[in-house]
Each structure stands twice: as C-alpha cells, then as structure tokens.
Amino acid sequence: MATIIGGIGVSHTPTIGFAYDTHKQNDPAWAPIFEGFEPIRAWLKEKRPDALVYIFNDHVTSFFFDHYSAFALGIDQEYAVADEGGGRRELPPAPGHPELARHVGVSLMTDEFDMSFFQDKPLDHGFFSPMSVLLERDGAHWPTRIVPLQVGVLQFPIPTAARCYKLGQALRRAIESYPEDLRVAVVATGGLSHQVHGERAGFNNVSWDKQFLDAITHDPAALAAMTHAEYAELGGLEGAEVIMWLIMRGALSASVRKVHSTYYLPSMTGIATLLLENEAADVPAASHERHRQRMQRQLQGAERLTGTYPFDHAASLKAYRLNRFLHRMIVPEHRARFLADEEAAFAEAGLSEEERQLVRQRDWRGMIHYGVIFFMLEKLGAAVGVSNLHIYAAMRGEPLEEFLKTRNAKVMYSVAGGAAAKGAVWDSAKPDGAATEQAGIASPS
C-alpha cells in the first residue's frame, strides 16, 4: 500500500524562482530563502519519495476564466514549464505519475468531490517556483514523479477552508488505498500574507503568518472554520490562498511531528516553509480493500455489456493526441487543411502511423477500440460528409440498410452546420457514407 511520509507547506511567490535563476543563494537579501528551503531539500533527498501530490494554484496562465474549476487534477505523463509572458524558465518538464493520479481521481469522485481533470497544460510559478528549489535534479531529470492538484482560488466563489480540509482527508484515503508500495509526500504551496492589488497592495501581517504556521500544525480545525473574509483581513486577499495548506494538513494524521519551519519577509510576500511528518497508526489492509471496492462499484458489471467501452482516464491519456486532432475539426482552418491534404495534417499533428491509418480508413469501430470518444467521430464525420447513421452502422458491423431497419424513423443526419447540412444528400453507395451536395435538398434531422 502507498504511505504518506509527510507534508510540506511552502510559499510559491515568483521571488523564489527569480532568486534561484539569478543565483542569489549567497546574496544577504536572498540567502534566507534558500536557508529556509534547505532542510526540506535535504529531507526529500534522504526520504526519496516515489511521488509528490503537489497542491498549487495557477495564476491565470494555463487556466483561464472560460472554464475555471474549483479542483483540477493532472493525469498527464509530464508537465512543462509555462510561459507567463516573458519566456519560459529553463527547467525540464516534471514527470507525472498518471497511474496514481487516476486512482486518486476515481477515489475523490467516489467520495463525492466533483473534480475536473487536465492534460497538456504547462504549469506556472505556482508549481515551479518552489519546485525548482525543493528538489535536486540530475541534469534534466527530476528525482520523483508528480500528481498536480490545481485549486481555483482567484475567482470567487472559491472552495471554503472547510472544504479544502475535507478534501485533504479524502486525499489521504485515496493515497493510502493505492495498491502499490509507494512513498508519497503531500506538498501545498501558496502564501503567506500578501496582497498584490488595489490600494491595500503591499499588505503583510507577520504575527498572523506565525500564528497560521502554529495552527496548521496543531489546530487545523480552527483554520478550517474561518471564512474567506477573515483570511483576507488577516493575511490579504491573495494571502487567502493559504487555504490550500489545509488540503495538505487534512491528508496527514491528526498527530504530526514538526520537523522544520521558517519564515522570512523580504518584499511582498511572507515566505514560509513547513515540514511535518506523519505519526499515523497502522490501518488494517481490509479497510483499504473496502475503499477500493467502493471505488469500483459505479462501473461494476459494465464489463458484461458487449460492445461497451467506458471512456476513462486511461483511454483519454492513450488517445489524447488523436482525440485532440479530431476535436480540432471544429476549427475551420484545421478542417480545411485536413480536407486539402490529410497526410500533411497528420504530420503536423504528430500522429502515429496507427492513428493515421485509423483515420485514413475511416475505421470508426477501430477508433473507438483505440480510445477515441464517439463525439470526435461525429466531428470527423461532419467534416468529411459522413452521416451519424453510417458511423453507427459501421460500429455495429452492419450495412446501413440493415441498421436503418432497427430504427423507428429512417432519417439521416450529422452535426454539420450551415451549407454542409442544408445541401447534403447521403450516398449509401459510398462505403463510408460520404455526402454529396445538392442545392435545396436537406437530410431530415
């Protein structure tokens, strides 16, 4: 079983990354930052965790307000450094742990946390600023793997402190029920006191910061009871992001041992480090097995449904590149390039030969088996003039005429819009059911 060996709380101000990149380790104004991180860096080097569950918030870099989630879990193979406007930092991508991430995701959803999940997103200073100082690298290789958890704390309403603490408790169940023997540390970033906007910009509260460090260690329930306004009053509005530390603390046992803590206020943000080790009692293995069985309950029996393939994280990760290629059929320029020269479009997208062959042959059933979700087939069909009904029939291995006999109404349709929909006449003689255009004739919908 996986074991949580400890929890780490660190600030993630870009000050840390700037000082690291500009080699300020021996500068008197900057040295205390590195001195505060050094004991945690040494602890990580000694303990050698197999994975870090890393809690942070993005600063409207990779997560914009067109879709802003409360809790977003990364399930990717690796995470690159984001460009925040002035170029990327020269750091290698952090390797992900998709197997642990998928387990954590299912477990949290089982515990009724409505998670979102992400791939193909670079991470900004909320992740990489402390990351670059915490871990020693061997060239381009990080010493451990990452499961990133992004918390939406910038656009209100945001999760409550109590909800963050409860999420941490559910995260503990998720990690400890993972069936492989992994050593996991939980890292929370953010804060401490600061405000970077409005006439209150530059606000700090050293006494509150020190009180918070004591309370997160010894009385996290008191912090979980506080409101966002109380956090903002005591630590600045942006400083209220320290509620993310409650996720880390909730993932630990009630009894912890404080190994290390420091605090330094060089400029705009109180920079803190905290290292806690678990003093948890052993839990019977049977309880973890019951939780895993509970995680499987919702899809239990689906494997008996012939020709049914739930689209899960494993399929999403495997077929992400092909799903993304097909999804981009909604972009007129991409669609036009594909229709003009399929092979050039395949090469531009970096599709594998297997993926290219599936699209070349319009192998609708093969794409489903590969991990493509149906709604991408629908988009490809609309782009190339193939009706939904032809796709359904192909997946069943039936001629269109036989499939239509199973329908109450013999209608033909697709998701194509505009002139393509209005002028389509579906040609059942063509093996892929491509449409030809004829003015004034539309397929029923």
- Which among 12, 97, 125, 390 is annotated as catalytic? 125
Question: What was the pLDDT predicted at 353?
Answer: 98
The rounded distance, in Å, linking the Cα atoms of 58 and 201 is 20
The pLDDT tens digits of the residues spanning 49-105 come to 999 999 999 999 999 999 999 999 999 999 999 999 999 999 999 999 999 999 999
String of b and e for 423-440 (b: at least 16 CB within 10 Å)? bbebbeeeebbbbeeeee
Give me the pLDDT at residue 22, please.
Answer: 93
- Each residue's pLDDT tens digit, 160-188: 999 999 999 999 999 999 999 999 999 99
pLDDT digits (tens, 9 = 90+) for 320-337: 999 999 999 999 999 999
Mean pLDDT, rounded, for 359-372: 97
Query: pLDDT > 70: what percent of the chain?
Result: 94
Of residues 400, 444, 404, 401, the one with CA closest to residue 421: 444
Note the pLDDT of residue 138: 86
CB burial readout 11-22, b (16+ within 10 A) else e:
bbbbbbbebbee
Percentage of the chain beyond pLDDT 90 is 88
| Mean pLDDT (whole number) for 265-292 | 89
> What pTM value is reported for the model?
0.91
Q: Point out the catalytic residue in the list 12, 97, 103, 194.
A: 194
pLDDT, tens only, 397-428 = 999 999 999 999 988 989 988 766 666 666 65
Distance between CA atoms of 426 and 439, rounded to whole angstroms? 13
For residue 125, indicate whether it is catalytic. yes
Residues 96-146 have pLDDT tens digits of 999 999 999 999 999 999 999 999 999 999 999 999 999 989 888 999 999
pLDDT at 445 over 50: no
**pLDDT value of residue 436:** 53
pLDDT tens sequence across 257-277: 999 999 999 998 999 999 999
The pLDDT score that the predictor gives to residue 440 is 31
Mean pLDDT for the stretch of residues 22-44: 95
* pLDDT at residue 438 tops 90: no
- Give the mean pLDDT of the chain: 93
| Model pLDDT, residue 283 | 78
At 280, the pLDDT band (50, 70, 90 cuts) reads confident
How many CB atoms are closer than 10 A to CB 284?
Answer: 8
pLDDT of residue 432: 65
424 bridge partner residues: 437
Secondary structure of 216-272 as H, E, C letters:
HHHCHHHHHCCCHHHHHHHHCCHHHHHHHHHHHHHCCCCCEEEEEEEEECCCCCCEE
Q: How far apart are the first and last CA of the chain?
A: 53
| Residue 284: per-residue pLDDT | 82
Per-residue model confidence (pLDDT) at position 437: 46
